[in-house]
Amino acid sequence: MRDRERETFAAEELAVVLSRYDLGQIESVTEFRRGSRRRPKVGIVCDRGKYLLKRRPRSEAATQRVANAHRLQDHLLAAGLPLPKLVACTPGGQQTFLRGPYVYELFDYVRGQSYSGTGDETRSSGEALGQFHKAVRDFDGQGMPSRGDYHDANPVRTALSSISNTMGSHDSAVGLESELIETTGELLNTYESCCEVVDVIGLRGWPQVMIHSDWHPGNMLFRHHEVVAVIDFDSARQAQKVIDLANGILQFSMLSSKHVEDWPDELDERRARLFLEGYLGLETITKEEQACIPHLMIEALIAESVLPIAATGSFGRYHGFRFMKMVCRKSAWLARNAERLAENVVAASSS
């Protein structure tokens, strides 16, 4: 879907929704072109301040997910985690989302910058995840989704099995069908191997907590190189906390470039260590969890890549097959260096 096809609010729709909030005189409403094209957002400037309005599709399941996510966010705010405050609607001032043709949420606007890759930002992002996991120890996760993360996930296997059909006529794969099959087979074998290692170490026997499940630079806002807001709790669920941690290390240590063919095999190990140091300043992990991290990082890398490629043939602006080749290279590097990376976790925990 091109940006011009991004869903937007109708003027009448906005008028009805905003009338349900005590905002005073509206000064301006500006389309906010970030995030999912199917979940439009607008920035609002009014007498009482600045806000962000978000629209979601409506269904009973989606509405329940919103209600549960808001309950989690209220808990995290009370524990001191930096995130945008939900705004209650009228009358009564208790409900924090509106139901109509869609589901609507209004948040305080938080001024901040995107991740620029500095060491301070990276460490602060790890600290914020440690704060998150510490805060949810006493959170009642009843009603929240369980599982559905990237570890040992059948949707990942299904995606890998279907990619050759999805990509068959895609520009990036024409004439390379046999190589495409070989690449998907390599990724599937790597994924299965990592799943087995992690399960042998014992992940399934570890307690589940609430995890954010999408801890990456795009879901952080920074000011003066510190996290001032964690956003997007759409994927929050119950799982083992190391699943969050491994994905966070991966996301904050990825190295890229303009052309996917030029992405380096390795990760930025300095940023990985800084993220870990930040996290371990607030939360602890066991030796078994340490051993799992490199293998979970590979699982997360493969899962995040192949699901959109199976659906669309692309990964964002990148051709799907070329992106998969890069994922193969990075996965192989992680596998070769798994033991050393796990040792670095131990070093970070003792620093």
How many distinct structural domains can be found in the chain? 2
Query: Is 339 among the domain residues?
Result: yes
- Of 88, 108, 128, at which residue does a domain stop? 108
Tell me the C-alpha distance between 179 and 304, whole Å: 21
Verdict on whether the full-model pTM lies above 0.75: yes
DSSP category for residue 155:
H
Q: What single letter denotes the amino acid at residue 73?
A: Q
Token code pair at residue 256: 């890229």
What CATH code is carried by the domain that includes residue 339? 3.90.1200.10
Query: Is 225 among the domain residues?
Result: yes
Domain that holds residue 73: 3-108
Q: Are residues 174 and 231 in the same domain?
A: yes
Q: Is-contact 342 294, C-beta < 8 A?
A: yes
pLDDT, block means (10 residues), the chain with 351 residues: 68 92 93 80 94 89 87 96 92 83 94 96 98 96 85 96 76 72 94 98 95 96 97 93 97 94 95 95 94 96 95 87 95 93 70 58
What CATH code is carried by the domain that includes residue 48? 3.30.200.20
- Of 70, 88, 108, at which residue does a domain stop? 108
SS3 54: strand
Nearest to 341 by CA among 246, 248, 252: 246
Got the DSSP string for 40-69? -EEEEEETTEEEEEEEE---HHHHHHHHHH
Q: Are residues 97 and 125 in the same domain?
A: no
Q: Are residues 229 and 82 in the same domain?
A: no
Query: Is 141 among the domain residues?
Result: yes
Is the peptide bond prior to 91 cis by the omega test (within 30 degrees of 0)? yes
